[in-house]
């Protein structure tokens, strides 16, 4: 299966702390994308990292990619209550999603 698998399934932290979510996959990829989904809403694209990139930043987000381990991580620094959402990694041309990590940031 190409499916990305996120870990942990759920994460609860305090505002201001950092949150790290991991994604593992099984096939070779051209790129990997991370999305956020607030409850009852659509998916918001966060970041795309290509297979020849090791790290990418966007604001408080930092994504790493290790193609030798077939894994990626999403780090959210200085988290805010508004970061509370589910986070998904997706791979492949038609996007194969994992189950997601449910992040809860407590004020």
Partner 1 sequence: NAGVMQNPRHLVRRRGQEARLRCSPMKGHSHVYWYRQLPEEGLKFMVYLQKENIIDESGMPKERFSAEFPKEGPSILRIQQVVRGDSAAYFCASSPSRGGGSGNTIYFGEGSWLTVV
Q: CB burial class (10 A; 0-12, 13-18, 19+) of residue 13?
A: middle
Q: Which of 11, 19, 25, 33 binds partner 1 (CB under 8 A)?
A: 33
50 binds partner 1 (CB under 8 A): yes
Q: Tell me if 33 sits within 8 A of 48, measured CB to CB.
A: yes
94 binds partner 1 (CB under 8 A): yes
35 binds partner 1 (CB under 8 A): yes
Cα–Cα distance measured from residue 86 to residue 66, given in angstroms and rounded to the nearest whole number:
22
Give me the residues that bind partner 1 (CB under 8 A), please.
Answer: 29-31, 33, 35, 40-45, 48, 50, 88, 90-100
């Amino acid at each position: 299966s190409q499916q990305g698998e996120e870990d942990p399934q759920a994460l609860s932290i305090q505002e201001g702390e950092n949150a790290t979510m991991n994604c593992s996959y099984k096939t070779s990829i051209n790129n990997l994308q991370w999305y956020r989904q607030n409850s009852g809403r659509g998916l918001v694209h966060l970041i795309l990292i290509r297979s020849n990139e090791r790290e990418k930043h966007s604001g408080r987000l930092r994504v790493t990619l290790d193609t030798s381990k077939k894994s990626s991580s999403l780090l959210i620094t200085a988290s805010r209550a508004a970061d509370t959402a589910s986070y998904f990694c997706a791979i492949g041309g038609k996007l194969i999603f994992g189950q997601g990590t449910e992040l809860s940031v407590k004020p």
